[in-house]
Amino acid sequence: MEDCASEPGTRYGRPQLRDHAPEETALTEESTTTWWTERGDLVVTLLLASVTVMLAWSGFQASKWSGVQAINFSDAGKARTDSNALTDLGGTAASIDAAVFIAWLEAAEPSLAAGDPTAAVSGEGLAPFFYENFSDRLRPAVDEWIELRRRGDADGQLPFDLDSYVVPEFVQARQLRDDASAFGDAARANNQQSDIYVLASVVFAAALFLAGICQKMRRPSSQQLVFAVSLAVTAAGLLILLTQPIEFARSDLPI
């Protein structure tokens, strides 16, 4: 019987192991809860302040990019209007050139047919008179056309078909049409940029809501869970902000 006696902490002569894991886990949870109880309000307040600033910044940037978009659309509309006006002016100028050229050609045809183009551009008569009154854009083209006709290389072309005949109004109108297209593309891109900042504002608003309600919960574990979700949403919004361009007042835009 004495051999079967066991010492304290042993069973049948073997040491008995004790499991302290539950006690340690409880202590850890209690420590975490105590830390949150003491500092949770401060942490949530800091998060609320940070999210509020980022939300305001997102709204500011969305407004700025929306303003740039409006300016781009306005510039596109102005460029199209100016282009149409210049096209009308160019058409009028080309019509005048065509009328003067036809009058000159009727008077100069005998000289041209006789192989004497000099008489069609200088001397006395209607042909030289009309030639002297050609516009600066028409005269070089007519001179080239006379030379082509003399060599027999005109191929049914008129001076208006040659590259040397350039109506400046048409050139400017074409450039303004290209500018209007570029302004339109920029406006659409800036509108997209504004939408991204609006999305960031929505994300920060959700983070602000979660951070606000976490203090209304009774259980610390629930508060910590909602706070963690709010922190993750805030990080997502911050990532959006860090990857987007920033727009301030620009000197290259009209006021």
Segment (H or E) for 14: strand 14-15
3-class SS at 42? helix
Q: Are 168 and 92 in contact (CB under 8 A)?
A: no
Cα gap 120→110, rounded to integer Å: 9
Q: Nearest to residue 112, comparing CAs of 154, 161, 163? A: 154
Question: Is the whole-model pTM more than 0.75?
Answer: no
Confidence at residue 215, expressed as pLDDT on a 0 to 100 scale? 76
If you ran DSSP here, which 8-state letter would residue 221 be given?
H
Q: List Cα–Cα distances, 27 to 22, 23, 36, 95, 234, in angstroms.
A: 9, 6, 14, 96, 31
Return the closest-CA partner of residue 208 out of 47, 57, 41: 47
Shortest CA distance to 47 belongs to which of 193, 194, 191, 235? Answer: 235
List the end-to-end C-alpha distance of the chain, in Å, as a whole number. 106
Give pLDDT, residue 27: 42
Phi, psi of 51 (to 5 degrees): -65, -40
Q: What is the pLDDT along the chain (255 residues), one digit of tens a residue?
A: 444 444 455 454 555 545 544 555 444 545 555 666 667 788 888 999 999 999 999 999 999 999 999 999 999 999 999 999 999 999 999 999 999 999 998 988 888 887 777 878 887 888 888 889 899 999 999 999 888 887 877 777 888 999 999 999 999 999 999 999 999 999 999 999 999 999 999 999 999 999 888 878 778 888 889 889 999 999 999 999 999 999 886 545 444
**Joined tokens for residue 241:** 């902000």
Q: Which of 108, 117, 110 is nearest to 146 (CA)?
A: 117
Distance of alpha carbon 184 from alpha carbon 83, whole angstroms: 15
* Phi, psi (deg, nearest 5) at residue 156: 75, 10
Per-residue pLDDT at 233: 95
Position 234: which residue type? T
Buried b (16+ CB within 10 A) or exposed e, 72-96: bbebbeebbebbeebbebbeebbee
Say how far apart CA 101 and CA 161 lie, in whole Å.
13
In the prediction, which pLDDT does 203 show?
A: 96
Strand partners, 11: 14
CB 171 within 8 A of CB 87: no
Give the list of residues 6+ apart from residue 115 with CB closer than 8 angstroms, or none: 150
Q: Nearest Cα to 111, choosing from 133, 99, 97, 128?
A: 128
- Alpha-carbon span 109 to 96, nearest angstrom: 20
